[in-house]
Structure formats: C-alpha cells, structure tokens
Amino acid sequence: MLKEVHDIVIIGGGPAGLAAAVAARKAGVQDILILERDSSLGGILNQCIHNGFGLHTFKEELTGPEYASRYIAMVEEEKIPYRLNTMVIDINENREVTVISRENGMETIQAGAVILAMGCRERPRGALNIPGYRPAGIYSAGTAQRLMNIEGLSVGKEVVILGSGDIGLIMARRMTLEGAKVKVVAELMPYSGGLKRNIVQCLNDYGIPLKLSHTVVDIQGKERVTGITLAEVGPDRKPIPGTEEHYSCDTLLLSVGLIPENELTRGAGVEMNRVTSGPNVNDQLETSAEGIFACGNVLHVHDLVDYVSEEATLAGTNAAAYVQNRRSEGEAHPVTLKAENGIRYTVPQTIDMEHMNDKVVVRFRVADVYKDRYVSVYFDGERVAHRKKKVLAPGEMEQVILKKEELQKYPDLKEIVFCTEVE
C-alpha cells in the first residue's frame, strides 16, 4: 500500500495549528495538511465567546470565535487542506503519523516535518483527592464553558469555583450573567493563577469573593452536589483544622490548571520538560526529534492567544525552512538557557548562536508573586540585563528578547541564566 506523503503535517487545527499553517504557506511550502480531531477548526476558541482576544495580533478586541474565524479565513484563502474528525494516534521519530477516521479507517502519513499544535487539557478532579461521593454537578470549568456556550445548557444555579485560573474566573462572570449565584472562588495558592484583568472584570465587578489559601475539603451530596466545605491551608498547602466553612451549592466548578496534551510527543521519543510538561525546544521551536516542531499550549500554557499565534508563526516558518533545506550549514554553537531564583522555566531551552534569527523571544513564568523585583540575565556569569518590574505574578507570562548581535560579543558563550533579584 502506498503511503500518503506531505511536506508538512500539522497536528491540531486550533489557533496554533492555523497560524503555523499560514506561516508555512507564506514561507513557500505548498504541500501542507492540517489534522483536527474535532468537527470544526478553531479549537478551544470556539467556546470562548468573551472578548479580549486579538489586541496584539489584529490591534482590536475580538471574541474567541471571531479570532479563530480570521485564521480559518486565511487557511481557506491559501487553500490549505485540512481533515476534520481525524484522530492522530501515533507519531514516530521518522515522522510517520498514524491517523484514524471514520472515512478512511487507519492510515499512515509520511511527513517531511511535523508541527505539534495539540493544545492543552484541564487537570481533572481525580488529580485533587477531594473526599466525598461522585455526585452530579461537578464540572471542570472548560466543560461547563462548552456546555453553556456551545450546547446552550445551564449547568447550575448556586456555584462554588475551586481554582482561580483564567477559565474559572471567566466562568464566574459567565454564570453570573446567566442568572446563577457564584458564592465564592477558592484558590489553594496565596495568589491567583489568572490574569489581573480577569480578577477585576470577572470577580470584583460582580462582587464575587476570592478566597486565597483555601481549598475544598469535602463535597456533600450523593445524587447531586448539595454543598461543599472550604478550609484555609497553611504554607504546606494542608488544611488548617478549625477553619472549615460550609457553602450550600448545586454546582462545583474546577479550574485547577492546564496540562499540555503531550501523549503523542512522548510516543515520538521527544525529550520532555519536567516544569512545563511540554517538549524541550531550541530557538527554532524544534524538539529533540529532528523535523518535529512544537508551538502553542502543547509547548507551555500561554495566557494570551496572541502569543500562541506569534509562536506558531515562528514554528511554521522554521518547519518550512527545514523541508526546503534552507537551514544554514556550518557548525552549531548551542547555548543552554537556565531558569533560576524565582523563574520556573524558559522557552526555548537552548539557542544555536550560529544559526539563530536576529532576535529570539524568551518566554517564562515566575514561581510566586514578587513586588519590586528585577529580572536579570547573565551570560556565563556576567550580568547583561537588569530590569525592574513592579509586580511579577505566575498568572502572567513574561518575556525577554535576546539579540544576536549582543550574543556575538561573547564568542565562547555556553550558558544564559534568567533569574529574579531583589536589587
């Protein structure tokens, strides 16, 4: 049986996959295929009917479906083929992609380059170890969002939300607007995991209390949730006896973190990053498996879709250069990027000084809320950047731009360290 062959195969038709496809086509690659397991392109944006998207990319405020439709229109205009309802079940290091669909059954596609753009999923209740039965009325925030915004269903009338990630904050406002009473948003950590603007616009504007350093210690109800018990947690994140409070409710939403969707990536033998749960990549966004690139939430969880599109554009352009054999020849000069003292990780994790673009955007998140701290960059122990930030928070992604001309002043450079400093 003849194997189907394409220059670039993109796994995922959400914002990352669409932007990567458009960029690869603009870079001159004609033979591109997008594989999407859902019945439509656009990914998670289709259920994000609130605005706040596109301020960086399109210089205007759009809803999620509007943002997605702009990229879908570009894909249609460029006549880039895509397959819906098609599930990728395996990728190997030779870039053979095994897919399954109702129309074609199981088939193998040979790719010149693969772009991973599978996005992320929500952390489930099972990861939380909350005691109690398994009654109806417990949803992840994203599931509730889909049920309300796409299926048109009401999920509850009296709501408690555990976790203050962006989806949880947005759902607090969404449910309030639909007539539900959101009693409290509880957060295990001493800081919110969401963007500051979402705390203001989704909680403060509606008088919804946010309880930091609190968690759910019990769920009441057998058939349907009837209430929950909250307790304060200490610095060890364990509940403090005697701080319990009871809330009656019929719905508990969980917004307790996102996990990059990387089962396929691991199957391809790609080196993974313990902190991001995504693959390690170089400045071309290429993984440790040659010709396999990654971008968007499969690489690390982003706060703004605009940054997903920017990263995916880079991945698409570099995958195009790879299949066109346009990558510059010559000895590589790898430099390792390290995150220390309050910075949790960097993306990318390595840079090839010899073949890098004129500038590389390094994105990272901090480990805690810091006030009046400096973000510092060290080249082999010498401090080269030292920028003061009034507030650094884990919910907001930060970035530093490295310029090739600056790096070339250090011909023997081996390591770049990113850290926070008090002075």
Query: What are 320-346's pLDDT values in tens digits?
Result: 999 998 777 778 899 999 999 999 999
Task: Using a pLDDT cut of 70, give the percent of the chain over it.
Answer: 99
Q: Which of 346, 127, 64 is nearest to 257 (CA)?
A: 127
From CA 233, how far away is CA 262, in angstroms rounded? 32
From CA 216, how far away is CA 414, in angstroms rounded? 46
- pLDDT value for 50: 93
Chain mean position to CA 398: 14
Tell me the backbone φ, ψ of residue 135, rounded to 5 degrees: -75, 165
User: Average pLDDT of 235-261?
Assistant: 94
- pLDDT value for 257: 86
Residue 79: which residues within 8 A CB-CB, separation 6 or more? none
User: Average pLDDT of 351-380?
Assistant: 94
Residue pair 306/55 in contact (Cβ under 8 Å)? The answer is yes
Least-confidence region, from 31-35, 226-230, 289-293, 322-326 = 322-326
- Residue whose structure tokens are 């066109």: 324
Tell me the backbone φ, ψ of residue 79, rounded to 5 degrees: 55, 45
| Residue 350 clears pLDDT 90, i.e. is over it | yes
206-221 pLDDT tens trace: 999 999 999 999 999 9
96-148 pLDDT tens trace: 999 999 999 999 999 999 999 999 998 877 767 787 788 999 999 999 999 99
- pLDDT value for 323: 95
Q: Which of 175, 183, 179, 123 is nearest to 145 (CA)?
A: 175
Tell me the backbone φ, ψ of residue 315, rounded to 5 degrees: -65, -40
* Interior/surface letters 58-89, b for 16+ CB within 10 angstroms, e for the rest: eeeebbbbbbbbebbebbeeeebebbeebebe
4-20 pLDDT tens trace: 999 999 999 999 999 99
Q: What are the C-alpha distances in Å from 273 to residues 268, 349, 411? A: 15, 9, 28
From CA 124, how far away is CA 130, in angstroms rounded? 11
Residue pair 280/263 in contact (Cβ under 8 Å)? The answer is no
pLDDT-based confidence at 151, cuts 50/70/90?
Answer: very high
| Residue 1 clears pLDDT 70, i.e. is over it | no
Tell me the backbone φ, ψ of residue 328, rounded to 5 degrees: -65, 140
**Side chain identity at 92, as an amino acid letter?**
N
- pLDDT value for 193: 86
Sign of dihedral through CA atoms 175, 180, 184, 187? Answer: negative
- pLDDT value for 2: 58
Q: Which stretch of DSSP H or E encloses residue 170?
A: helix 166-177
- Dmax (CA) for the chain in angstroms is 68
Q: Say what the pTM is.
A: 0.93
DSSP string, 362-380: EEEEESS-EEEEEEEEEET
Where do runs of H (alpha helix) occur along 325-375?
A: none
For 303, the token pair is 């706060």
Sign of dihedral through CA atoms 58, 61, 65, 66? Answer: negative
pLDDT-based confidence at 248, cuts 50/70/90?
Answer: very high
pLDDT-based confidence at 415, cuts 50/70/90?
Answer: very high
**Side chain identity at 75, as an amino acid letter?**
V
pLDDT-based confidence at 384, cuts 50/70/90?
Answer: very high
| Residue 83 clears pLDDT 70, i.e. is over it | yes
- Altogether, the residues listed in the chain come to a count of 423
Q: Which of 355, 278, 299, 295 is nearest to 322 (CA)?
A: 355
Mean pLDDT for all residues in the chain: 94
